[in-house]
Copies of this chain bind each other. A is one copy, B any other.
Amino acid sequence: MEEKKIFLQCDYTQGCHEKIMNALIKTNLIQTNGYGEDEYCESAKKKIKERLKNDNVDIYFLITGTSTNQIVISSILRPYEGVITVESGHINQHETGAIETTGHKVIVITNELKLTSEMIENYILNQINDKLKIHVVQAKLVYLSFPNENGLLYSKNELEKIYEVCKKYNLYFYIDGARLSYALTSEKNDIKFEDLPYLCDIFYIGGTKCGALFGEAVVICNNVLKQNFGFNIKLRGALLAKGRLLGIQFYELFNDDLYFKIGKNAVDLALFLKSELSKKGIKFFVDSYTNQQFPIVTKEKYNEIIKKFEVTKWCEDDKLVTIRVCTSWGTTKEIIEQFVNMF
């Protein structure tokens, strides 16, 4: 039998942070109502609102990221409306058409890795001028992930400008925070958690990739989007009978700032890896300051690495391979040192 490799290919290779596991153990026999109408969900929502310093948001707990994107987007759009994103957007490339399944076009307006307010404005202006308007899907929502698929951040100013353009053209703005803890704890980040409700209409706080067994918390900031949101959860099959499991986990994530501690540990290790490899002359696909790093290695080095480590092959050409390495709540300095020593 081959020796077990160390998994660095993604941030969901293990169960959950021990504080979460302990809470699940401790509450296991307690009886509650089903479908999220329990005291744990209530407490978790309260906790998140406190941390957001904002009582004017609605919070719903969902199970998977794709389901969250699908439910949020389909709950907002009318049949003739679509959602704007970049080509590499998760909803465009890695959800097997989960958005289109609900009847909506994913409108790709750039193959750049990040959206800008200018791109959105240009697209909308062009659309408005179209004489064939009735023949064209109407953009109504802007989607981006923070950090994005390549670990990149948006600055507060960038998001503000995007949100401004959205409001100018009656678009909603949705931020996918599948890896939100790694954005908020990055040294390059200038956005506070409590800023988020003022930067968009709706966002989600990722749990699955940030230390929970599973779970994502949707935060609805715009009152218009609050009405009847819950029905969409049930009709898309995402209403957990034992909804308490989500409440228990998110309570722990936001108790004593665990969510941010998990993020910081992972980001610190990722930047340590980046700095060490850089010293050794390794180049990176993008300049990420979050928990995902994308070193570019030779084919030979790649083949060496994958004998000991599981990593994601991001892209390749004849000679070089870009790999993705992710840190998480469970990653230790020893692991990263072992990885760095491969070079």
From B28, B31, B32, A6 is in contact (CB under 8 Å) with B31
Q: Is A35 an interface residue (CB 8 A)?
A: yes
CB distance from A240 to the nearest CB of B (A): 6
Q: How far apart sit A69 and B214, CA to CA, in the bound complex (Å)? A: 21
Would you give the 0/1 interface string for A43-66, flagging 1 where the beta carbon is closer than 8 Å to chain B? 000000000000000000001111
Would you give the 0/1 interface string for A134-145, flagging 1 where the beta carbon is closer than 8 Å to chain B? 111110000000
Within 8 A of B (CB), among A63-103: 63-71, 74-75, 78-80, 82, 93-98, 100-103
Residues in B with CB closer than 8 Å to A102 are 79, 103
Residues in B with CB closer than 8 Å to A240 are 63-64, 214
Residues in B with CB closer than 8 Å to A12 are 34, 241-242
CB distance from A321 to the nearest CB of B (A): 13
Q: Is A224 an interface residue (CB 8 A)?
A: no
Residues in B with CB closer than 8 Å to A32 are 7, 13-14
From B97, B108, B312, B330, A29 is in contact (CB under 8 Å) with B330
Q: Please state if A33 and B13 are interface contacts (CB–CB under 8 Å).
A: yes
Q: Which of A161-169, A186-194, A230-238, A280-288 is near enough to bind chain B?
A: A230-238
Q: Which of A19-27, A260-268, A295-303 is near enough to bind chain B?
A: A19-27
Asked whether A94 and B13 contact (CB < 8 A) given A64-B240, A67-B237, A238-B67, the answer is no
Question: Copy number in this complex?
Answer: 4
Q: Is A209 an interface residue (CB 8 A)?
A: yes
Asked whether A79 and B70 contact (CB < 8 A) given A15-B24, A100-B100, the answer is no
Q: Is A307 an interface residue (CB 8 A)?
A: no
CB distance from A176 to the nearest CB of B (A): 13
Q: Please state if A235 and B132 are interface contacts (CB–CB under 8 Å).
A: no
3 interchain residue pairs of minimum CB distance: A67-B237, A80-B231, A15-B28
- Given A12-B241, A63-B64, 9 more A-B residue pairs with CB atoms under 8 Å apart are A7-B32, A14-B31, A65-B241, A67-B238, A80-B97, A95-B234, A96-B235, A100-B103, A131-B312
